[in-house]
């Protein structure tokens, strides 16, 4: 199998994995916001009230959760488009152009940057929330399912699993997109190498054509001189 086909197959497999992992971000984060009545626990802090044991929450901005969901949706759409596009190339036995490969590299790098930002938000934001939970419970996991905020009416039943799944999805997505960026760079380098070979072959061909064009003239000049010498001698 040709190297181009191996890279193309690897890219398709990578985008399928990226598609699945993007759902591991979007679904749990959406469920979390729904269960927390639109609130986002990332970077949220608060104080435990001694009177009733409730957690008086100072909610952080919803932008943290919204951004994570946005990144998940962007990764999902990019994966779907690339699976369809590269699938067509596999079916037709062709491959992308140099410009298309360059766009793939740039877009993959942008998505990597967006994903690492979402990964840090989810991980660090969840750590802040868990630090508050461990002030009252032995572990953050133990706080799941407990009635800790009657005032806001949040459902804490699944927040630990949901945020854990989102962390897995976002870090897995980051690793996958780094790999996809490497594959796109390999393809771009291969195209650049092929282009250099073509330019070198073109220059060599032009040199040979020029040499062949000059050779008949020189031979003709030599023959003319010989003829003139013979005539003079006679």
Q: Could you tell me the residue ranges of all domains in the chain?
A: 3-198
User: What is the pLDDT at residue 233?
Assistant: 45
Burial profile 172-181: b = 16 or more Cβ within 10 angstroms, e = fewer? bbbebbebbb
218 or 174, which is more confident? Answer: 174
For residue 197, what pLDDT is reported?
A: 64
Report whether pLDDT(1) > 50. Answer: no
Residue 231 has pLDDT above 50, yes or no: no
Q: How far apart are CA 69 and CA 118, in angstroms?
A: 9
Of 93 and 139, the structure prediction assigns the larger pLDDT to 139
Upper half-sphere CA count for residue 211 (Cβ side, 13 Å): 6
Our CA angle for 188, 190, 193, nearest 5°, is 110
Highest mean pLDDT out of 88-102, 135-149, 179-193: 135-149
Give the tokens for residue 233: 């001698």
Does pLDDT of 150 surpass 60? yes
Distance in angstroms (rounded) separating the CA atoms of residues 220 and 184: 55
Mapping DSSP to helix (H, G, I), strand (E, B) and coil, where does residue 45 land?
strand
Higher pLDDT, 195 or 119: 119
pLDDT band of residue 219 (cuts 50, 70, 90) is very low
What secondary structure letter does DSSP report for 53?
A: -
Q: Give φ, ψ of 11 to 5 degrees.
A: -65, -45
Question: What's the mean pLDDT in 165-169?
Answer: 97
Residue range 104-115: mean pLDDT, rounded: 95
Q: Are 12 and 139 in contact (CB under 8 A)?
A: no
Count of CB atoms within 10 A of residue 3's CB? 10
- Of the listed ranges 40-44, 188-192, 230-234, the one predicted with least confidence: 230-234
Nearest residue to 109 (alpha-carbon basis) of 186, 179, 29, 163: 179
Amino acid 89: pLDDT: 86
pLDDT at 194: 63
- At residue 154, the 3 state secondary structure works out as coil
| Nearest CA-CA partner of 183 in 24, 4, 59 | 4
CA–CA dist 13, 179 (Å, integer): 11
Please determine, for residue 138, whether its predicted confidence score (pLDDT) is greater than 80.
yes
Which among 97, 106, 105 is positioned nearest to 4, based on CA atoms? 97
DSSP 149: -
- Rounded to 5 degrees, what are φ and ψ at 98? -60, -45
Q: What is the mean pLDDT of residues 179-191?
A: 86
Q: Mean pLDDT across the chain, nearest whole number?
A: 85
Residues 6+ apart with CB under 8 A from 88: none
Tokens in use for 112?
Answer: 């990597």
């Amino acid at each position: 199998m040709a190297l181009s086909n191996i890279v193309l197959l690897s890219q398709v497999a990578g985008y399928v994995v990226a598609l699945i992992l993007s759902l591991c971000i979007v679904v749990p984060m959406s469920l979390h916001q729904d269960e927390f009545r639109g609130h986002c626990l990332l970077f949220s802090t608060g104080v435990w009230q001694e009177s009733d044991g409730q957690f008086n929450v100072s909610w952080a901005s919803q932008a943290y959760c919204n951004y994570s969901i946005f990144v998940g949706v962007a990764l999902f759409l990019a994966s779907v488009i690339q699976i369809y596009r590269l699938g067509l190339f596999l079916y037709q036995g062709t491959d992308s152009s140099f410009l298309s490969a360059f766009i793939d590299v740039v877009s993959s790098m942008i998505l990597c940057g967006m994903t690492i930002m979402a990964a840090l938000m989810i991980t660090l934001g969840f750590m802040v929330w868990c630090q508050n939970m461990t002030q009252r419970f032995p572990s953050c996991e133990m706080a799941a399912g407990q009635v800790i905020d009657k005032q806001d009416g949040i459902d804490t039943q699944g927040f630990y699993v949901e945020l854990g799944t989102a962390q897995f999805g976002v870090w897995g997505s980051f690793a996958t997109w780094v790999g996809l960026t490497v594959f796109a760079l390999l393809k771009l380098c291969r195209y650049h190498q092929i282009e250099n070979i073509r330019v070198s072959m073109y220059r060599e061909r032009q040199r040979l054509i020029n040499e062949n064009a000059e050779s008949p003239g020189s031979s003709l000049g030599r023959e003319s001189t010989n003829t003139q010498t013979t005539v003079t001698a006679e």
